[in-house]
Chain A
């Protein structure tokens, strides 16, 4: 009995540093943020704390009644729904390409495809802004040589979000590609041999061996990418500043504007928590989907 208690004490002692760090750097800020979201902290309160008022849930009600919030949520969902599949498809395609026996110079290709991930987002965003400039951009220049009339990629509300999606997919696919390469290497090779003997074409091999083989990885990547893409911020901040016509305002960008531009930190915290709830619900949904999926498969 005594030794059990001592053992558990030892276990707690070992876990303590990590727990303290989590409590200090995660727990405290989250609770402070939650408390902040129930107040109307703004510049007046910044000047004098006596100007702070308890708001209860009314910040949340206010956020949900803001037309801009719903537009931002719509933009973010647009970004996620288009961006996540595109990004994952790119990663998977690149990973399969790098696994293929037909491809040469693999280390070079791998480095090249991974390079966007390690570049600074702000720096490449500036370059993309030039590439997609309506008058001087290389993209429009190329299109024009094919006789396509120039598109105002970042200035037209219909094109701004697709451009940002393309940028984000390009910037991020390398990271997932590395994960997929690892997963692909774990798929047993003899399965492919057996399939080839049975006369399966490469698409059938991919569909019935590769995809099921990497399904758990695929789901994990999907969850991580979705959670990450919901937090879209830096791309519109650098490329469009939320414009044109608020077509690239994401939920996080709205939070930034409320919090750091207008300094309504109470409201901004409420936006952050609403986003947090959305991400949790979506991630849980994806996990539940996986359970059903694998449950049916088993």
Chain B
């Protein structure tokens, strides 16, 4: 999920009702951030195919979108359909705000579950109910200055943790002070490391935190080791300032980020560095590892009075050719495998120099626990990790107090589940 867009001062869209006059149905479509600015360009194509349907795209800044969705539900002002971050779906599903999509999907032969990346597809069915259809996907992997690796005599991209450790140590020997950038305010890198472990992050069906378990301990241990060995700077992203400039200057060789940075790096790095950097899959404890299953889905609201039209729009935006067109407009990676093999600039997206690693990584993504409280838990996880990075708490205290905190957050959920089963 992409949330780096700064808070825009503009207030979010006005809450106008849908109107049906002179036979035209107006769909209200809430989209966020960069996607909301661009998706309107896809609408004429849809409106040509569906006479009598007009789409009103209402823009929400990412920073306010979550509150806006909840408030809209409470105030009975939900749109017909919306772009919803994968991690928000459990919450919206728990509210009962979203229309279950199984019957709609069953009626649409064009949509085949097998055409979606498995890990991503799994994020869309919280509580066993499919309420979202993946629109675009993202995951985290490594952006690497391979020229600097080559200069240090490293020919192979690290594929497991030990090789990664060795690579980082070698880069330090060769004079690069902080070869890895892990901004301490970003939770995704640590979450990805945690998802690489066999166990669950939350245990007993999302009733309790499992941060003191061996899996998370290993992940946090590896994470902290990078700072303790001096390989990663103690800095949040804000403190880095101009990330691209620092990457171009060679201040660091590894940066963990998502697909949006492909476009940013292409645009902002000097042309002579164009072939110096590459994307690579995230190393795991033993061989290529899992990463996060991010992205956003399209969801339809239960209270919509234009569900067939809203579904038509969701189906349209899910068409492989439209998905590829959306990629061209935004750089957002398509959720459907078939879109990756459509011709694009004389090749396919799957063969693209920088997207290829994402294509492979997307086959190895794992969903975060599908509980409504996850967003908050992830934030607490990162805050706890940041304290450990700064040496305020040690690993054992960190995971234990994190478990205590998370168990407190999940108390209501346990009560709900126990009552349901009783």
A residues within 8 Å of B by Cβ?
40, 42-44, 46-48, 51, 53, 122-123, 125-126, 134-135, 152, 154-156, 238, 241, 243-246, 260-263
The answer to whether B67 touches A152, judged by C-beta atoms less than 8 angstroms apart, is: no
**In the complex, what's the smallest C-beta–C-beta distance from A15 to chain B, in angstroms?**
34
Kindly provide the distance from the CB of B235 to the nearest chain A CB, expressed in whole angstroms.
10
Binding site for A on B (CB under 8 A): 7, 9, 63, 66-67, 70-71, 73-74, 91, 94-96, 185, 236, 238-239, 241-242, 372, 375-376, 383, 386, 412-413, 415-416
In the complex formed, the residue of B with least CB distance to A154 is B238
By a CB distance below 8 angstroms, the chain B residues around A40 are 412
23 A-B residue pairs with Cβ-Cβ distance under 8 Å, sorted by A, are A40-B412, A42-B412, A43-B372, A47-B94, A47-B95, A47-B96, A48-B96, A123-B9, A125-B9, A126-B9, A134-B241, A135-B241, A152-B238, A152-B239, A154-B238, A155-B238, A156-B239, A238-B9, A243-B185, A245-B386, A246-B383, A261-B66, A261-B67
Task: Quote the shortest CB–CB distance from B100 to chain A (angstroms).
Answer: 15
Question: A155 near B95 (CB under 8 angstroms)?
Answer: no
Q: How far is the CA of A46 from the CA of B69 in the complex (A)?
A: 13
- The answer to whether residues A263 and B70 also contact, given A44-B94, A44-B416, A123-B9 and a CB cut-off of 8 A, is yes
Q: Which residue of B lies closest to A240 (CB)?
A: B238
Chain B, Cβ-Cβ closest to A258: B376
Residues on A with C-beta less than 8 A from B73 are: 46
Q: How far is the CA of A122 from the CA of B313 in the complex (A)?
A: 35
Q: State whether B96 touches A238 (Cβ < 8 A).
A: no
What residues of B have a CB within 8 angstroms of the CB of A53 in the complex? 415
Q: Write out the residue numbers on chain B whose beta carbons fall within 8 Å of the beta carbon of A48.
A: 96
Q: With the chains together, A126 CA to B386 CA distance in Å?
A: 28
Bound together, the chains give a CA A246 to CA B185 distance in angstroms of 11
A46 adjacent to B74 (CB under 8 Å) = yes
> How close is B27's CB to chain A, nearest CB, in angstroms?
25
Can you name 13 extra interface pairs (CB under 8 A) apart from A46-B95, A135-B242?
A43-B70, A43-B91, A44-B413, A44-B416, A47-B95, A48-B96, A123-B9, A134-B241, A155-B236, A155-B239, A241-B63, A244-B185, A261-B66
Q: Which residue on B lies nearest to A152, using beta carbons?
A: B239
In the assembled complex, which residues on chain A have CB atoms less than 8 Å from the CB atom of B71? 260
Q: Are A44 and B236 in contact (CB under 8 A)?
A: no
A48 CA to B419 CA, complexed, in Å: 14
Contact of B9 with A122 in the complex, beta carbons under 8 Å: yes
The answer to whether B63 touches A244 (Cβ under 8 A) is: no
Residues in A whose Cβ lies below 8 Å from that of B375: 262
Check B67 against A43 for contact (C-beta < 8 Å): no
- What's the Cα separation between A2 and B226 when bound, in Å? 87
Q: Is the CB of A241 within 8 A of B67?
A: no
How far is it, in angstroms, between the C-alpha of A134 and the C-alpha of B239 when the chains are bound? 9
Q: Are B412 and A44 in contact (CB under 8 A)?
A: yes
Residues on A with C-beta less than 8 A from B376 are 262
B7 CB contacts on chain A under 8 angstroms: 238, 241
Whether A43 contacts B95 in the complex (CB less than 8 A), given A155-B239, A244-B236, comes out as yes
Within the complex, the shortest CB–CB distance from B191 to chain A, in Å, comes to 18
* Nearest-neighbor residue (CB-CB) of A122 within chain B: B9
Complex CA gap A126/B9 in Å reads 7
- CB-CB under 8 A from B412, the residues of chain A are 40, 42, 44, 51
Minimum CB distance partner of B419 in chain A: A51
Instruction: Tell whether, in the assembled complex, residue A243 and residue B70 are in contact, meaning their CB atoms are under 8 Å apart.
Output: no
Minimum CB distance partner of B74 in chain A: A46
Q: CB-nearest residue of chain A relative to B408? A: A62
